[in-house]
Structure formats: C-alpha cells, structure tokens
Structure 1
Amino acid sequence: MELAGTAAIVTGAASGLGAATAAALTARGARVYGFDLQPSTADGLIVDVTDPSSVAAAVTRAAGGPEPLRTVVNCAGIAPSERILGRKGPHDLARYAKVIQVNLVGSFNVLTLAAEAIAQTTADDHGQRGVVVNTASVAAFEGQVGQAAYASSKGGIAGLTLPAARDLAQYGIRVMTIAPGIMETPMMETVSEEYRKGLAAGVPFPNRFGTADEYANLVLSIVDNDYLNGTVIRLDGALRMAPR
C-alpha cells in the first residue's frame, strides 16, 4: 500500500514507539495525526483513547483532510506492575481495570472508529483501503510476575488480531499486531543500569534492547506488504521471558 499522499493516525505519538513511528510515516510522505494525552507532532491532537467522543472527533479531523486515511498504528499504553497477591494485599481491581481500559479497550476504540472512516474511502487498484497495526507485547505469551494486568491487556490485543482482520476484510482493511520484546523506550530509562543490563543479557540475539526505530521499520514493512494480515509478529530477538 502506498503511503505518500495519505493520512495516518498514530496513538501514543508523543514518545517512544509512537514518536518513532510517526516520524517514519511522515518521512514516507504520509500526513500523520498523533493522538496522545500530551502534545506530539505538528498535527498532534490531545486524545484520550478510552473516550469514544474524544476519539471520534479526532478521527473525523484526520479523515476530513484531502488525504485519504489509510494507516492506523496503536502505540498508546500503560504498564504498571502489581502481583495478584502482594504485601499490601490483593491486586487493586481499579488498577487492573484501568490497564485493560487503556491498552485493550483504547486500541479497540481507535481501531473501530478509524475503520469506519477508512471504509468510506475509495479503494486502490487492489481493493485495499487501509491497514491497522496494534501493539501487543511478548508479555501476551510469557507474562512475568507482577504483569497480570499488562499481560491480560496485551493477550487481548493478540487475540483480537484475527477476528478483526476477518471482520474488516470485506472493506479491504488489514489488521496486524506487533509484539515487541524489551525495547529502548522512555519507560526503560526509569530503571537502574544494572537492571537494564540484566534484561538485555536475556535476549539471545542481538544481545541488546530493541529500538523504537526497529519497531517503526516493521510498521513500514507491514504497510508495504499487502499479504500480511491477521497475525502477530514478535519483535524480540528470540527472547522468551522468564517468570521474573
């Protein structure tokens, strides 16, 4: 699918994976609308992905320009850690629900409302109208101690991929998911260097953290390859997470 002269939505565009993806799509000629709670790109919009009215208004803006909306990348997410039974008692239910709401429901909210707008565009010569790329995590498959909420949310995104692709096939809209491993993002900058080295040592090859640019490049590859649809791609250096 061609990117030049089209519009794209990237959630979580103010930093990390989202910022790198927004930059990569822009470099390929797309007009990117960054959705985030913080200001991001020149076309950054303050959007709460869990709020249907907030997302609907932002999608209308992104789809209302001269460029057809073709690409959506969901990067917005949170990752608090808490054990099901910890020193302070059982897992806080409101916190669990918040993670599900932001990571899973937020991605579904953007996917659904953006797909409605994409479905109204004119298909290209191959019958394609667009592609949605969601972000899961290797935690969807090997959630660690303290990741019950996060792993649940990311497992939901992985499970959403195929039925969403099947639902939207009639409109020429593909749905893919990337499951990153340990990535070099602002979130990782908050932990100690010793802990970071320990995490990197567990990656078979390359023996390091992944980069936001590597994530963004995979997004571009998915956009380019029209036959990629309905599956989850791990971006993890062959990492399989240990319990802790």
Structure 2
Amino acid sequence: MPICLLKLPCLVRDLVVTQLEYQDLFLLSICSRRTKFLVKEARIKISKLTFLFEQSHGYNTFSIGVFTDKCMWIPVTSLLHVPKLALKEVCKVKLDHDYEAATNIDIWCPLNGVFLNRIECANDPMAIHKAFQDHINSIFHYSDTYQLFLSTKPGGNLPNISNVTEIRILEDTVDPTFLTNVLTRYPDVRSLSIASISDGELPKDSPFFQIQNVGVRLHSVSHYFLVFFFWILNVIV
C-alpha cells in the first residue's frame, strides 16, 4: 500500500529519508521542491564525489557517483546526451537555480539486483553538466573537491564542471594534445593518473609539468617521466 511521505510525522519522515541510497535520494530530490527540501533537511553527508565521462551506445555519458577507498563505485545518477528525446515519455526535471530540462528517465535492474537510474537529455551539455553539479552540491551539502574519470572517446567539449583536483584517464594511451587540453580546462588538478602517452611532444609550457602527483607506466612514457622527474629535482635543489 503506497504512503504519502510528505504526510508522515517529521521524525518518521526523516528516518525514511536517511535510510535511502544515494540514487534514491537524488531521484527524490527532483520530484518537487518539497521533496528536495526533505533531502536537504536530512543533511546526509557524502564522501568524495567522482564524475565519469565516457561513451555508451554511441552517446556521451556523464555519470556521478562515489568512488570509495576500496575501489567501489556507488552510483548517484547518470546523464546520457541524446540528439532527440522519445516524446511520449518526456518529463521535466528542475535542478538547482531553477534550471529546467526535458528528460527521459530510465530505471532498470542489472543482474546484481541493484536498481540504476539514467537521465536522457537533449539540452546543451555545458549547461546541464553545471546544473547537475550544483544540484548534487546542494542536496548533499558538498563543498569538497572532485575526481574525474575521463575517456578520450566522447566527442565535443569536456564536462563543464569545476573544482576538479584529480583526473584518471581511462584509455591505455592518451594523445599529448588531448592531455594538454584536459589540464588547461581543469587548472586545479593536483593528481593525474594515466597509462601511457602516445607518440608526440608535450609543449614545454604544458600544464602536465605543473602537476604535483603523476602516476604513469614508466616503460611507455620514460621520456616524459624523466623530463618531469628532472624538473622536480631542479625545483627541489
């Protein structure tokens, strides 16, 4: 039998909200202004937030989740950029700062039994990325830095998000130009994880040489690593 969450006593209502998973909290927060207020009032804290930008089924996908110390991904939501929505299933989602987006919301259950949600949207990616980040910050009272898992496959602009201090590039090799563009787009990066750099030269003024922590495979990028290593030695000395 369905119950009206908003009509429950405050104590019971708060108890219900605090028991929800991150995905459920996000979906509840976009139902209405009142449900968003419920989520915010619960003051549920969230640990390190992580963004994942990749390509799925030929479309750019922007996912938000928590990547734990045990290398577990706990999803919050994901956004699939599509050229056109299925008109019969369109619903409006209102995010932070009254940003509205026409969307299709998909919910499914994989073999592991955990329900997942995905929002399909045809809005300008640059605007919707920022709106999603602001909304997540608001409902979880989050003000810490972010980690970005980044694939080189999606086309178009890089995600329009701020305060990114850690980046992990997923592919086995990364083009020097792409790497320079990424580090220029996210100037606050202090930690970078890459597998290897493809043939080509990094500009001498590349932001790569300003990164505090770089994780690489030495046999693939010995030249760049040594340049970086000796640059560090010069700074220390």
Q: TM-score, normalised by structure 1?
A: 0.31
- Greater strand percent: which structure? 2
TM-score calculated relative to the size of structure 2: 0.32
Higher helix share: 1
Larger Rg: 2
Higher RCO, 1 or 2 (CA under 8 Å, sep at least 6)?
A: 1
